[in-house]
Amino acid sequence: MSDVMSELVLQLGIVLFAVRLGGALVKRLGIPPVLGELLSGVAVGPYALGGIAFPGFPHGVFPLGEGLAVSPELYAFATVASIILLFSSGLETDLGLFLRYSVAGGVIGMGGVIFSFVLGAFSGAILLDIPLLDPRCLFLGILSTATSVGITARILSDQKKMDSPEGVTILAAAVFDDVLGIIALLSGNPGDALPVSAVLGIAGKAFGIWLGFTALGLIFSKQLARFLKLFRHSFDFSILALGIALILAGFFEKQGLAMIIGAYIAGLSLSKTDIATVIQERIHGLYAFFVPVFFAVMGMMVNVREFFSAEVLVFGVIYTAAAICAKVIGCGGPALLLGFNRRGALRIGTGMVPRGEVALIIAGIGLASGILDTKLFSAVILMTLVTTLAAPPLLNSALRIKGNGTRKPVKGEDTATARWEFPSDEVADLVMNFLLRDLRAEGFYVQMMNISSGISHARKDDIALSINETGNVLSVETAGEDLPFVKTAVYEVILSLNESLAKLGESSDPKKLKRELAGMEGRARDGALSLITEDAIITSLAGNTKEEIIAELVDLLDRNGKLADRNTVLEDVLRREKTMSTGMEHGIALPHAKTGGVNDIAVAVGIKKDGVDFDALDGEKSRLFVLTVSPKKTSGPHVQFLSAVAALLQDGETREAMTSAVSRDEVMFLLRKGR
């Protein structure tokens, strides 16, 4: 047991590094991270680097398992990951849209199954020169019908399209596909026909369990949420909600249905409750840990060595082309007849393309039963690999096409948006933070997962608010009947802030606080000062005014590629300077701002030996300037850096030496010495 466990933890550690590296690399290319995670699995798997023997590992770090390409223990992690993925997908699904498009999803799923089965079976008959009813052809048809809802769900989630009409339709159709595929497998090996009554019985059981639990979950969702709230703390009831998903997934598997369908139903049942977004936030860490492991394990099950056979490549390429066309046409075609336009039909068709783990499982059954030989199995794996790897960029590109995917707007007529414009981004931040605080006090569950992008969600019972902060504008979207509540809440926040700020102005003196800061000594943290780089130092500033000096330093950062928007940065720094001058004492000035014009903290150092008037505390001209700009929505050492620089420049000898420096090297030497 200890050997098994040590091998498992070693494999998990390697997988975690591989998927993070792979995901980060493809993300730089504008490709969804899921593709990098899949390719990482292929690279470190037993058929590639993971199978190379070396001392202590005679069969490699990832030896081939019995019946599976990976060990049962690692596959178990992937199974749990697929449950977390589909549970989260269910939570993100807009229930109203799901119910509205469930019938369309069923029709689209049926179209995809019929086209895929026919094209898959015909491909086998033509390429193998065998009868259409040969077990191999029928099995190839069943394989072609599979849809990997996990991969599609991940892409939709990354693109924030899970609750779009196309997103819910794809998920509904994919679940429908899985149920039909499972019915086909349960009906016996292709060629061994069961009586019609037996097939109908299997189908009735599968659909009965699926639809029955979905209906029960939706009917008793509020009671289920109330039960979970008994455990008080949001971490407790979130973990127990995941526990419900695991139980339902296990039950579905015991009944011959896929685990992921049970997990999705559990998430869908809770999606309309007020704790849905909180559960999403609380399990986000588990999601980030497990889900990439799932995609890596799927990649590990691909044997790339089999692809070098010409026979396998020819059959695999044609079979793959038929599989892709079958889903795009079979699902996209019916979508055009069900209220979607060409954009929506393309998104749905490409979203149904990946076969992923579903096809791998079915192919394994075919190989074990003797229906598929090793060459056919390799061709099927090639189809699975190509459709799985091609789906993310295809769907990602389709989702980026501007415009709605439906012929008519899908938002309800009672949806309303309230909008407020404030003098600055900082005021909008303040109002939003206080609004979220007050909503929590009112008993709302607030999701903070997307706060870095300025988006939050708040729910209580049947009240749902979508709060969006963009620059200095705050907007709240909700049902029309809840708009008076929203406006009242924001009014109370603004009134409270006005009173608090008035009292703050009466009781404090910013200039006095600034003098205290200027005279304090602190420690110069090496990590903070390392943000200063040689290419962002200028020892002979040309400007003769405060505005010119700041513009010159901003331009220096812009030339070095450290700014995303030069004008925004300059505007934000000058606005901060108008609030109160950053001129300190002893010839030092520390202009700074938090701005939307940078992605990472950036620092520029400038020297003007003659000095300029910077409205310094001591009335002297400023000669040494350190400009600091940081992103608004990302945490970073902004204040720590300002404190570290101020502490370093308190030393008169260092300050005078830097002011007299004639080269960048000399300034960098003094900075390192000062640390």
Please give the helix or strand (H or E) that residue 170 lies within, else none. Answer: helix 165-186
φ, ψ (nearest 5 deg) of residue 577: -65, -35
Q: Is 233 a catalytic residue?
A: no
d(CA 131, CA 240): 52
Contact at 8 Å (CB) between 597 and 564?
yes
Q: Encoding tokens for residue 339?
A: 């209220």
- The active-site residue out of 59, 233, 586, 592 is 592
Asked if 434 and 493 touch (Cβ cutoff 8 Å), the reply is yes
Report the distance separating Cα 13 and Cα 289, nearest Å: 11
Q: At what angle do helices 342-351 and 374-400 cross, to 10 degrees?
A: 150
Q: How far apart are alpha carbons 344 and 346 in whole angstroms?
A: 5
Helix (H/G/I), strand (E/B), else coil: 649: coil
CB-side neighbour CA atoms (13 Å) of 645: 25
At residue 169, what is the residue type? T
Alpha-carbon dihedral 38, 41, 43, 46, rounded to 10 degrees:
-140
- The neighbouring-strand residues paired with 5 are none
Q: Is the Cβ–Cβ distance between 644 and 524 less than 8 Å?
A: yes
- Cα gap 480→266, rounded to integer Å: 29
The alpha carbons of the chain give a radius of gyration, in whole angstroms, of 30
Contact between residue 190 and residue 121 where contact means Cβ atoms under 8 Å apart: no
Task: State the distance between the two ends of the chain, measured CA to CA, in whole angstroms.
Answer: 51
Helix, strand, or coil here: 604? strand
User: Quick one: residue 615, left, alpha or beta (phi over 0 = left, psi -120 to 50 = alpha)?
Assistant: left
Q: How many Å apart are CA 354 and CA 325, to the nearest integer?
A: 12
Nearest to 487 by CA among 543, 555, 441, 418: 418
Instruction: Give the residue numbers annotated as catalytic, written as ranges.
Output: 592
